[in-house]
Structure 1
Amino acid sequence: MSIVRRLASKSAIMFGMRVGGAGFIFIVQAAIARVWGAEALGDYLLVIASANLLAVVMPLGFQTVGTYFAAEYRANGEGRHLRRFLLRAYGHVVAIGVAITLFGWPVTFLMGAPGEHLLALWVPTSLVAVSTALTFISCTILVGLKRPLAGYVPDMVFRPMLLISAFAIIAGVAQGPELEAMLWLFSAFMVGLVLVHFGLVVHAAKQVPAQDDLRPHEARKWWRFAAPWVLITLASDYFFDINLLLLAGLLDRTDLAIFGVSTRIFALVSFGVVAVYAMTLPDMFEADANDDRRAFEKRVGEANFVATLLAASLFIGVLLFGRYLLMLFGEEFSAGAVPMSILCLALVVRAMFGPASLVLSIHDKPAASLPSVALGIIALVIGNFVLVPGYGLMGAAISALIAISLWSVSLWLTAWRHAKVDVSIFNRFRIAPAG
């Protein structure tokens, strides 16, 4: 089976599971909006955005490079280094998570009115963030060890099922909106899921031989890669969680809820692109380790082809059916249909210009991505303040499209300059088949 067909097949399986899991999440969000009101949904989306951002920070970037180092250590049979990496990554979450839960609440005072709602929910929000961070680490490690289904299934399928169970139980016994109780119950459910996921990681790690000699300065390499990647991940995978917090003071809570739901659908669509590149990383790493440039560029080109085709197909699907999906949350949510389509168009641009940050990391230049990341965030902040006051949801979507396009093109040029590799889809048609 060709790499393109294998990528498409695995991506389709995982995307199907992601859609199923997202279906549960959409049910919860729609139920919160209809049973507890749009303002309760706005608070819920603010909590989830905050928990996701905290979850990215807690591992101090080690979850962002977990796939990279797990793939390297598996390929080289370096089990002792893999175990040390796991101990450090999980240890960061425990230590930072306890500190944030106990002492992080004063940050809410810097967020204005939205911070008042978040303050009352700080402890359960932090607990959800801790469990999410642990899930992130387990997922990236298992993907790097070539066990993508074991990595993604707990997060894609079981976590949404636990969320809808928590809502159903609390809504069934409560007389009114009880978001805090739902979050407490959900965090308790997540503890069991985290333990099962961790067990899968331990089992997979034991399969890697542990006869290697420890390199005394290996931790320096971890930090050199992790520090830039935590910023890259925040700006890419959690771009709209950041944006939701930025928009909290520019949109009313109803519009914020509409935009938040639209970005959750975008996150679902973008998962397909992220999964394609995550599954390709071990193959790209092995090609680079063998100093086979033709094979390396072929792997990148095939991944780009699948990712762009998937992004374009999903954009068309959202354009045609997004309005009906949003109307599940209420008639007022249909206002987000066109802005959501614009967001998905940004994903097509992102896929076309390829996995530049991954390629720069493979070429030992992870920090080279940071100027492009900064350019994207600055463009987003400026675009929000210029466009949102006058154009509302449309202004927010156009601002995001401009920001994503700028950083995608900038990253492509950076990879071309530093790694001498054209990571865009256009390069695929110039590459002769690798032998």
Structure 2
Amino acid sequence: MGPHTLVARVTATEDAAGAGLRRVLRGGVLNMAGAVVGAGLNLALIVAITRAFTQETAGLLFSATSVFLIAATVAGAGAPDGLVYFIARLRVVGRTDGVARLLRVAMGPAVAVAGLTGVLMVVFADPMARALASEDAATYLRLLAAFVPFAVMVDTALAATRAHHDMATTVLVDKVGRPLAQLGLVGAVALSGSAGLLALAWAGPYLPAGVLAWFWLGRILSRAVPDSGDAGPGSDVRDAPRNGGDVRSREFWSFALPRAVAGVAQMGVQRGGVVLVALLSGLTGAAVYTAATRIMVLGQFGNQAVLSAAQPQFAEQLATDDRAGVRSLYQAGTSWLVCLTWPLYLSALVFAPQVMALFGAEYAAGASALVVVCAGQLIGSALGMGDLILAMTGRSTLNLVNNVLALVANLAVCVWLVPSLGATGAAVALVASVAVRKVFPLWQLRARVVLHPFGAPVMVAAGSALVWFGAVPLLAVGVLGQGLAALTASVAVGSVGHLATVWRLRGHLDLRLRR
């Protein structure tokens, strides 16, 4: 071939990898802007509930909505992940005309399961109410059951828009619009003094969100044109749909259903702890645990901002067996996760009593649980997104096993520690499940693509966060004491210093929108 051809091909590969990183970064920036707003709205929603209503009422709402979110994940049947996976492959081979048929394959069973799940919530509302020792729980669960299909509509439509690299829909509909509507409605309920309407105020926004998401997806599909430029002629597209532009129902669900079980396991870890604490330690304990884990949920907005943008890019890189691109995006993405989430977790860890006071004086007992949660999330962010990459390789069974093992670890530790430690025991269980879900994929992927987070980008990001949100807050506490003044000063100084450091070292972090 000659040296010039080889150089040209290497340069083209590097350019393609850089273009992929910049595409993900642009999507991540948009998602992050929405995530910041959405995180603030969700925190305001929880604070409004904890301050306007009793701990028992707050714990009941948090427990009922946790059941709802688990049920919605079950009802989705893995369709959102399946849509991202197969739409990305259809776009790689230039067969976007198959997307509409794929949506029909996905939505029929998902809608049917959503209806059945809602019926089961109604049927088991009374037994669940007796287990929670609250008559109002049955009413909450029956009201929430009616909105399960709309939650499925939101998740599937937004997954399909992200597969087309459209992040604006997710930001405007799910990260901003829905929580803003929830906050407004919960505020109105708080002013009316009618706690019985809380479940309706929380779930009601799923209906317009579902309609808007599908309307927006329709506009994207109407403008879609065949996109064969990502892979290029002659590219080796692995695991592409076997029937040209048609994805057969069996092919789709053989991928999606294991992801459905994995998704339920993930949601069980995230929300099952609230229900278990309510069952084992009472509704008051569930309210405290929910408040203590709000910082984790805020950090997950940053995680989702990066993961939602990276998911379709990983799918396309793995479809063409671009191992170098996967490794590059994995380390860059992990460094972005550390840059975004470590400042939050480190600040909350140092100032745990002040953070819990935000929810009310009776929530001070959750400070120890908050410290445990933040320590675990620091480790989880640094280990990156290996579980997402494992899913995008099509290894749904391994992903399923990991998430089930994480759920088992969570349940076992909860049953062991929650009766004696309450919310803190549930926090330890959460950290154990995160460790299982993050470590196993890195080992399982070693034959396909060797991944580890210990590259220069992650080290730079972690170093900056530790200096500005670890050392500086501890110095502030030593000088000003553990109080609001130290918290304010350290966050202000740390934010400016961290942003300046990240900007100065943006080349090491692959934070370049243009080249």
TM-score between the two structures when normalised by the length of structure 1: 0.87
Matching of residues 191-206 of structure 1 within 5 Å: 191-206=207-222
Contact 2:266 2:407 in 1 (8 A): no
Query: Aligned residue for 2:452?
Result: 424
Q: How many residues align?
A: 427
Contact 2:55 2:284 in 1 (8 A): yes
How far does the alpha carbon of each residue in 1:214-271 deviate from its partner, in whole angstroms, 9 at most, with x for none? 6666222211211111122233355221221222222222121010122233122122
In 2, Cα distance between equivalents of 1:40 and 1:251: 15
Alpha-carbon RMSD across the aligned residues, in angstroms, is 3.0
Shift of 1:185: 5.0
Letter in 1 for 2:100: R
Name which of structure 1's ranges 115-124 and 378-387 shifts more when overlaid on structure 2: 115-124
Letter in 1 for 2:175: M
Shift of 1:196: 1.5
1:37 pairs, out of 54, 67, 77, with 54
Q: 1:329 is paired with a residue of what secondary structure?
A: coil
Q: 2:437 is paired with a residue of what secondary structure?
A: helix
Matching of residues 47-86 of structure 1 within 5 Å: 47-86=64-103
The answer to whether residue 164 in structure 2 is matched with residue 145 in structure 1 is: yes
Contact 2:386 2:441 in 1 (8 A): yes
Query: Aligned residue for 1:178?
Result: 195
TM-score between the two structures when normalised by the length of structure 2: 0.75
Distance 1:296 1:410, change over 3 A: closer
Distance 1:251 1:103, change over 3 A: closer
Query: Aligned residue for 2:291?
Result: 261
Letter in 1 for 2:380: R
Identity %: 21
Query: Aligned residue for 1:113?
Result: 131
Q: Which runs of 5+ in 1 are unaligned?
A: none
Shift of 1:2: 7.5
In 1, Cα distance between equivalents of 2:157 and 2:351: 34
How far does the alpha carbon of each residue in 1:284-317 deviate from its partner, in whole angstroms, 9 at most, with x for none? 2333333332222212222122223333222113
Shift of 1:40: 1.1
Contact 1:74 1:208 in 2 (8 A): no
Name which of structure 1's ranges 152-161 and 256-265 shifts more when overlaid on structure 2: 256-265
Name which of structure 1's ranges 354-363 and 262-271 shifts more when overlaid on structure 2: 354-363
Query: Aligned residue for 1:336?
Result: 366
Distance 1:405 1:167, change over 3 A: same
Contact 1:135 1:194 in 2 (8 A): yes
Distance 1:237 1:374, change over 3 A: closer
Query: Aligned residue for 1:233?
Result: 263
Name which of structure 1's ranges 146-155 and 231-240 shifts more when overlaid on structure 2: 231-240
In 1, Cα distance between equivalents of 2:268 and 2:36: 19
In 2, Cα distance between equivalents of 1:197 and 1:261: 29
Distance 1:11 1:313, change over 3 A: farther
The answer to whether residue 356 in structure 2 is matched with residue 326 in structure 1 is: yes
1:190 pairs, out of 191, 200, 206, with 206
In 2, Cα distance between equivalents of 1:192 and 1:302: 36
Distance 1:22 1:144, change over 3 A: same
How far does the alpha carbon of each residue in 1:108-132 deviate from its partner, in whole angstroms, 9 at most, with x for none? 4554432754322223211333322
The answer to whether residue 432 in structure 2 is matched with residue 414 in structure 1 is: no
1:289 pairs, out of 305, 310, 319, with 319
Contact 1:302 1:428 in 2 (8 A): no
In 1, Cα distance between equivalents of 2:209 and 2:308: 22
Distance 1:198 1:106, change over 3 A: same
Letter in 2 for 1:204: I
Shift of 1:133: 2.0
The answer to whether residue 392 in structure 2 is matched with residue 362 in structure 1 is: yes
In 1, Cα distance between equivalents of 2:188 and 2:371: 34
In 2, Cα distance between equivalents of 1:324 and 1:228: 42
Matching of residues 235-250 of structure 1 within 5 Å: 235-236=265-266, 239-250=269-280
Shift of 1:410: 2.0
In 2, Cα distance between equivalents of 1:20 and 1:429: 26
Shift of 1:390: 2.2
Q: 1:426 is paired with a residue of what secondary structure?
A: coil
Name which of structure 1's ranges 204-213 and 384-393 shifts more when overlaid on structure 2: 204-213
The answer to whether residue 104 in structure 2 is matched with residue 87 in structure 1 is: yes
Distance 1:359 1:427, change over 3 A: farther
Shift of 1:408: 1.9
The answer to whether residue 154 in structure 2 is matched with residue 135 in structure 1 is: yes
Distance 1:422 1:339, change over 3 A: farther
Letter in 2 for 1:355: M
2:178 pairs, out of 148, 151, 159, with 159
Shift of 1:53: 0.9
Name which of structure 1's ranges 314-323 and 44-53 shifts more when overlaid on structure 2: 314-323
Shift of 1:99: 2.5
In 1, Cα distance between equivalents of 2:286 and 2:422: 10
Shift of 1:368: 1.4
In 1, Cα distance between equivalents of 2:202 and 2:276: 26
Bigger radius of gyration, 1 or 2? 2
Distance 1:59 1:374, change over 3 A: closer
